[in-house]
Amino acid sequence: MEDTLRSGLLSVVLPSYNEEASIPRAADTITAILIDADIPHELVFVDDGSRDRTWTVIQEQAGRHPQVRGVRFSRNFGKEAAIFAGLAQARGDCTLVMDCDLQHPPEKAVEMYRLWQEGYQVVEGVKASRGKENPLHTFAAKSFYSIISRATGIDMSRASDFKLLDRRAVDTLLAMREKNAFFRALSSWIGFQTTQVEFEVQPRLEGESKWSIRSLVRYAITNITSFSAAPLQLVTLLGVVVFLCSVVLGIHSLWQWASGNALEGFTTIILLQLFIGSILMICLGIIGYYIAKIYEEIKDRPRYIVAERCEGDRDEGTAKK
């Protein structure tokens, strides 16, 4: 069976935002594991417009490890953009995306690569558990993933960005022109021969999580609206509900009029005005959001802007700009 296994270069894509403390450990650990397992590899660090010394550290690593490369964005474009930039840079026959804070255990890379060798084109890392979170966060995440799961038709409840993709899957993703590409969902949506590997989310050793409540809410809204028209359908549903209520109230008012109590109901009118007014505002907001998205896509701006690159020099072992 040995000779039926394919082999090839593994690219590891590491989105990095203010990760000066994590990068040396990531480069050393991942390189050591892959050399040990005899897997040909390259590491692609994407500096997502960090404000700390991340870029200098990446250049230093490229000087130390010939197989390390780096791309630096002109500003912070977000993790999704960083992942896509890494995929575009990757030269491998397969590409693994992982966090550079090592919360995605690098030992799993070997197992995932072996599955790729057996013929799988998408190897998904799924979270064995969601780690430590407060109940509100868990509830919000659950609601978010159930909407996304319904929109994609794929169970996303334990999905992560820790994924290994075959060249063909990478090229398919890169060919998609949408600006708000949601990697985690799109890489499942494309199909292909897929398998899963469970992993435990590791504690963060260095630095801190880049997510604030505000950025999480924005992340959820962006990804829900880029994957599903459900909020627009909700608007229609709201319209129907309000219409049914107004029929009931209409009948009630007619009844009042017929029985000679017509003037009563001033409060009802004020409340109805407020209620309908606010619902209309919300609906307009949702529709406006989708129009803004169409506008964004039509402008056709790039997903990210690369300011600099660096590459480990295989001959001299020094970083080249």
Which among 169, 161, 171, 163 has a CA at the least distance from the CA of 196? 163
Least distance to ligand UDP from the beta carbon of 66, Å? Answer: 23
H or E, element range at 234: helix 230-258
End-to-end CA distance of the chain: 43
- Tell me which stretch binds Mg ion (CB under 5 A): 54-62, 97-105, 168-176, 218-226: 97-105
Please report whether residue 127 would count as binding ligand UDP according to CB under 6 A. no
- If one asks whether residue 65 binds ligand UDP (CB under 6 A), the answer comes out as no
The Cα 127–Cα 67 span in angstroms is 29
How do strand 122-127 and strand 194-199 relate by DSSP bridges?
parallel
Q: Which of 142, 166, 156, 159 is nearest to 92 (CA)?
A: 166
Q: Which of 27, 30, 100, 310 binds ligand UDP (CB under 6 A)?
A: 100
Residue 79 binds ligand UDP (CB under 6 A)? yes
211 binds, among ligand UDP, Mg ion, none (CB under 5 to 8 A by kind): ligand UDP
The listed partner (Mg ion, ligand UDP, none) that binds 100, CB under 5 to 8 Å by sort, is ligand UDP
CB atoms within 10 A of CB 319: 21
Residue 180 lies near ligand UDP (rule: CB under 6 A): no
Residue 99 contacts ligand UDP per CB under 6 A: yes
The answer to whether 70 touches 45, Cβ cutoff 8 Å, is yes
Q: Does 103 bind Mg ion (CB under 5 A)?
A: yes
Least Å distance between CB 21 and Mg ion?
12
Site for ligand UDP in 238-297 (CB under 6 A): none
Contact 14, 45 (CB under 8 A): yes
Check residue 101 for interaction with Mg ion (CB under 5 A): yes
CA–CA separation, 48 vs 99, rounded Å? 12
User: Rounded to the nearest whole angstrom, what is the least distance from the CB of residue 117 to Mg ion in the complex?
Assistant: 28
Under 8 Å CB-to-CB from 223, ≥6 apart: which residues?
Answer: 144, 148, 180, 182, 185
By C-beta, is 22 or 31 nearer to Mg ion? Answer: 22
Which among ligand UDP, Mg ion, none contacts residue 79 (Cβ within 5 to 8 A by kind)? ligand UDP
Burial of 192 (0-12, 13-18, 19+ CB in 10 A): middle
Q: At what angle do helices 23-36 and 108-117 cross, to 10 degrees?
A: 50
Nearer Cβ to ligand UDP (50/188):
50
User: Which residue among 30, 72, 92, 101 contacts ligand UDP (CB under 6 A)?
Assistant: 101
Residues that bind Mg ion (CB under 5 A): 99, 101, 103
Binding site for ligand UDP (CB under 6 A): 15-17, 19, 48, 76, 78-79, 82, 99-101, 103, 209-211
